Structure 1
Amino acid sequence: MTADVSSSRLSPRRGARFLLSTALALGLGLSLAGCKTSAEKAEEYYQSGLQLLEQGDVDRAIVQFRNVFDIEGTHYEARKTLADTYRAQGDIGQAYSQYLRLAEQYPDDLATRIALARLAFDSQQADEFVRHATRAQEIAPQDAEVQVLDLTRRYREATLAEDDKARASLGEEAARMAQTRPDDPMLMGILLDRAANARDLDEADRLTARLLELQPDNPQRYAQRLALLAERQDKPAIEAHLRATIAKFPDNDQAKADLVRFYMSENQPDRAEAFLRDLAEAAPADDPAPRADLVRFVEMQRGADAARAELDRIIAEGGDPLLFRTLRAGFDFRDGKQAEAIAEIRSVLDGVTEPTETSLNVKVQLARMLVETGDAAGARAQVDEVLAQNASQPGALKLKALWDIQEDRADDAVLALRSVLDQAPQDAEAMSLMADAYDRAGEPDLARDYLSQAAAASNNAPAETLRLADRLMSEERWRPAEDAILPALRRTPDNLDLLGALGRIYLSMPDLPRAEGVITRLREIGTDQATAAADRLDLARLANQEGEAAALAYLEQQANAADADIGAKLSLIRAQLASGQAPAALKLAQDMVAADPESRAARMALAMTQAANNDLPAAREIFTALIAEKPDDLPPHLALIRLATQEGKLDEARTLTEQGLAALPDNPDLLWSKAGLAEREGDIDGAIAIYDQLYARDSTSIIVANNLASLLATWKSDDPAAVARASAVARRLKDTTVPPFMDTYGWIQHLNGDSAAALPYLEGAAAALTQDAVVQLHLGVVQAALGKTDAAKAQLEKGLEMLPEGQEGQSITAAREALARLNAPAQAGEAASNGTTGGTTGGTAGEPLGDAAPAAGQATN
Structure 2
Amino acid sequence: MIERIAQFKSGPALIFASLLMLVLAACDSPEEKAKSHYESGMAFVEKENFIKAGIEFRNALQLKENYADAWYGLALVEESEGNLRLYAGDILKAIELDPKHVKAQSRYGKIMLLSGRLEDALKTSDLVMELDPNSADSLALKAAVLFRLDDKPGAVAAATAALKIDPSNIDAVTVLAAERLDAKEPAGAVTIIDEGLLHRPGSTPLQIVKMRALTALDDDEGIISVFQELIAENPESKEYRQGLSSFLESKNRFAEAETVLRGIATDNPEDIDAKLDVVKFIRTTKDDSAAVAELEGLIAEYPEVFRYRFALAELWARMGDEDKSQAILQSIIDNAKVAEDALIARNRVARTYLTKGDLAQARILVDEVLATDAQNAQALVMRAAMQIDEGNIEDAISNLRSSLKQNPDTVNTSILLAKAHEINGAFELAEDRLAAAYRYSKQAPEVGLAYVQFFLRQSAPERAEDLLQKMIARNPRNTDVLKAMAQLQLRKQNWGAAEELADRIKEIDATDVIGLQISGAAAAGLQKADDSEQEFEKAYESTPDSGQTMLSLVQSYLRNGKVDKAESFLNSVLERSEDNYLAKMLLAQIALGKGEREKAETEFLDLIKNDPDRPEGYMMLTRYYLASNQQNEAQDVLTAGLAALPDNFTMNLTQAGLFEANGEADNAIAIYEKLLVTRPNSEIVVNNLASLIAEGAEDEESLRRAYALAKRFRNTKVPFFKDTLGWIHYRLGEYEMATPLIKEAAEALPNMAIVRYHLGLAHKAENNFNEAEKELEAALKLAEQQNFSQVEEAKLALEEVRAAKAN
TM-score, length of structure 2 as denominator length: 0.69
Query: Are the aligned partners of 1:676 and 1:687 in contact in 2 as well (CA < 8 Å)?
Result: yes
SS state of the match for residue 90, structure 1? helix
Return the match for 1:610 from 576, 591, 603: 591
Change (3 A) 1:611 1:261: farther
SS state of the match for residue 336, structure 2? coil
Please tell me the residue identity of whatever aligns with 2:465: W
1:766 maps onto 2:746 in alignment: yes
Query: Are the aligned partners of 1:48 and 1:61 in contact in 2 as well (CA < 8 Å)?
Result: no
Which structure 2 residues correspond to residues 93-492 of structure 1 after superposition, within 5 A? Answer: 119-120=88-89, 173-174=123-124, 176-177=126-127, 179-180=129-130, 277-285=262-270, 288-296=272-280, 298-299=282-283, 302-320=286-304, 322-334=306-318, 337-338=321-322, 341-352=325-336, 355-356=339-340, 358-406=341-389, 413=396, 416-444=399-427, 447-448=430-431, 450-459=433-442, 461-471=444-454, 475-476=461-462, 477-485=464-472, 487-488=474-475
Query: Are the aligned partners of 2:746 and 2:759 in contact in 1 as well (CA < 8 Å)?
Result: yes
Aligned pair count reads 731
Query: What CA distance in whole angstroms lies between the structure 2 residues aligned with 1:659 and 1:597?
Result: 25
Which structure 2 residues correspond to residues 571-720 of structure 1 after superposition, within 5 A? Answer: 571-577=552-558, 585=566, 589=570, 599-688=580-669, 690-691=671-672, 693-694=674-675, 697=678, 702-704=683-685, 706-708=687-689, 710-711=691-692, 714-715=695-696, 718-719=700-701
Q: Percent sequence identity over matched residues?
A: 26
Change (3 A) 1:576 1:304: same
Query: What CA distance in whole angstroms lies between the structure 2 residues aligned with 1:578 and 1:535?
Result: 17
Which structure 2 residues correspond to residues 559-578 of structure 1 after superposition, within 5 A? Answer: 570-577=551-558
Query: What CA distance in whole angstroms lies between the structure 2 residues aligned with 1:585 and 1:170?
Result: 59
SS state of the match for residue 798, structure 1? helix
Query: What CA distance in whole angstroms lies between the structure 1 residues aligned with 2:82 and 2:616?
Result: 64
After TM superposition, give the deviation of residue 316 of structure 1 in Å: 1.4
Name 1:836's counterpart in structure 2.
none
Name 1:843's counterpart in structure 2.
none
Query: What CA distance in whole angstroms lies between the structure 1 residues aligned with 2:300 and 2:600?
Result: 66
After TM superposition, give the deviation of residue 258 of structure 1 in Å: 8.8
In structure 2, the gaps of 5 or more residues are 1-21, 160-169, 179-192, 194-199
1:726 maps onto 2:713 in alignment: no
Name 2:7's counterpart in structure 1.
none
Single out whichever of 235-244 and 302-311 deviates more from structure 2: 235-244
Query: What CA distance in whole angstroms lies between the structure 1 residues aligned with 2:796 and 2:111?
Result: 59
After TM superposition, give the deviation of residue 481 of structure 1 in Å: 0.6
Change (3 A) 1:606 1:192: farther
1:790 maps onto 2:778 in alignment: no
Higher relative contact order (CA 8 A, sep 6+): 1
Return the match for 2:782 from 802, 805, 811: 802
After TM superposition, give the deviation of residue 349 of structure 1 in Å: 0.4
Query: What CA distance in whole angstroms lies between the structure 2 residues aligned with 1:756 and 1:331?
Result: 60
Q: Deviations over 1:201-245 (max 9, x none)?
A: 9999969958x99xx9xxxx99x9999999999997999999999
Please tell me the residue identity of whatever aligns with 2:602: E
1:822 maps onto 2:797 in alignment: no
Return the match for 1:780 from 750, 760, 774: 760
Change (3 A) 1:51 1:259: closer
Query: Are the aligned partners of 2:517 and 2:535 in contact in 1 as well (CA < 8 Å)?
Result: no
1:90 maps onto 2:78 in alignment: yes
1:515 maps onto 2:516 in alignment: no
Query: What CA distance in whole angstroms lies between the structure 2 residues aligned with 1:449 and 1:208?
Result: 44
Please tell me the residue identity of whatever aligns with 1:609: I
Change (3 A) 1:442 1:49: same
Q: Deviations over 1:613-657 (max 9, x none)?
A: 232322222222233223223322322222233233334333323
Query: What CA distance in whole angstroms lies between the structure 2 residues aligned with 1:48 and 1:574?
Result: 80
Query: Are the aligned partners of 1:777 and 1:812 in contact in 2 as well (CA < 8 Å)?
Result: no
After TM superposition, give the deviation of residue 676 of structure 1 in Å: 2.7
Query: What CA distance in whole angstroms lies between the structure 1 residues aligned with 2:710 and 2:316?
Result: 43
Query: What CA distance in whole angstroms lies between the structure 1 residues aligned with 2:561 and 2:211?
Result: 50
SS state of the match for residue 339, structure 2? coil
Please tell me the residue identity of whatever aligns with 2:713: A
Change (3 A) 1:671 1:46: same
Change (3 A) 1:640 1:501: same
Query: What CA distance in whole angstroms lies between the structure 1 residues aligned with 2:110 and 2:443?
Result: 25
Query: What CA distance in whole angstroms lies between the structure 2 residues aligned with 1:628 and 1:314?
Result: 58
After TM superposition, give the deviation of residue 368 of structure 1 in Å: 0.8
TM-score, length of structure 1 as denominator length: 0.65
Change (3 A) 1:560 1:400: closer
Query: What CA distance in whole angstroms lies between the structure 2 residues aligned with 1:201 and 1:702?
Result: 61
Please tell me the residue identity of whatever aligns with 2:378: G
Return the match for 1:540 from 521, 535, 545: 521
Single out whichever of 444-453 and 386-395 deviates more from structure 2: 444-453
Please tell me the residue identity of whatever aligns with 2:330: R
Q: Deviations over 1:368-395 (max 9, x none)?
A: 1121233323323333333343344332
Q: Deviations over 1:258-309 (max 9, x none)?
A: 9888777766776766665455445554x54444454455445555434332
Q: Deviations over 1:766-819 (max 9, x none)?
A: 34434422122233234445554312211122213433799776x778766754
Change (3 A) 1:46 1:557: closer
Change (3 A) 1:585 1:188: farther
Query: Are the aligned partners of 2:351 and 2:362 in contact in 1 as well (CA < 8 Å)?
Result: yes
Change (3 A) 1:81 1:500: closer
Change (3 A) 1:806 1:489: closer
